[in-house]
Structure 1
């Protein structure tokens, strides 16, 4: 036995509190009766401060509501950004497509304009060709005096007498001629003094159309005032001229070498 075993304790015995007595009294029935609130709770329930049981639910709800609102706001902002990005992308695609269509339309319009211009050019050339052929037919079928009289008969007779003679550049007869030398010599037979060269002979008289030729008209090749060759119309669609050194002085139909114009001096 301990030496201190019989020494009485100086501590006062603890008196059970009212709540302890009430707890022991109520345990038998299985329920705890609290004098403060008068509520009956299960014996195994723990005591909690009144303030804690009243305030915590309020704080938790506020936080949850705030968090939910923040989440909704963030989601709305994200949605707005995504919608704006989609709109920008769609606008960019539409703009590029519009530019592409515009470029294609311009290209197509240019191609069509070029095609129309080419067709117009071909149509013009065809019309000119038809007009030229018509003019040639009119010239060949134009009435003419096959039997010349007076001055024209003398002129044609002289020209026919020179057929077969040589062409020599600068020659004026009587065994050889160049083109303007022959016409000058022929018109001297009827009292008309022509200039010496083709350029001047092409403007020596009145200009006439090839569809209105008469015997004795001077034909020229090239433009009036700068002609490079001349001959004389002798009727029936023919002319006589000193052509070149290979052929000499010959009679040929107009379509052998269609002249550019004609002048009338008789």
Structure 2
């Protein structure tokens, strides 16, 4: 016996050929089964329709920003459209109102024109009437060719007839009577009381006070006086004294308590103006 006979060999024991063949057969059978199964699967897959699934792109932050921007632009466009429509409506309303205002202004202007025309016509009629009345009074008073100088003012001298003669006759008849404030005859007068009483003789009712008598008739120039005109001292409507022009540069008036009713030349106390009521 070898001195190493009791030591096992470190090599693995050889596999038997039959065992290897058996394992090869099993492996072949498995592979064959897999091949058949694969063939069957391929056939089944070939028979079924192929369905393909498409994936939509993911909504990234950039794409979301673009969508938001587009929506904002659309909203802004809509707002601009509304604003334009409102402006157009406002312009239309303004034009309509302007047209109405223009029509109203034309209507008012036409009314004002008619009113002014009526006033002008009325004034012209009054002027013609006043001229006719003056012409009528002048016809009753034939003008003499003589003239009198009164303190540098040339005053025409007229023959007093009709109503003027009656007024003058009454006024001269009162010369020498007393002056009493507020008196209107028959024994005493103040200035306006005398003129009122004189014109009452011919049916003319004068206001009581000097201020009103100074505007009771037509204003006349002192250079164109006629007998029977009322003279006044002070302003028209604010006169403080009145008298009666009796012709030939003379007047009769109730002057003051010291003189009473007197007949004086115009130069004695030149009047401020005169009115004609006859």
| TM-score normalized with structure 1 length | 0.48
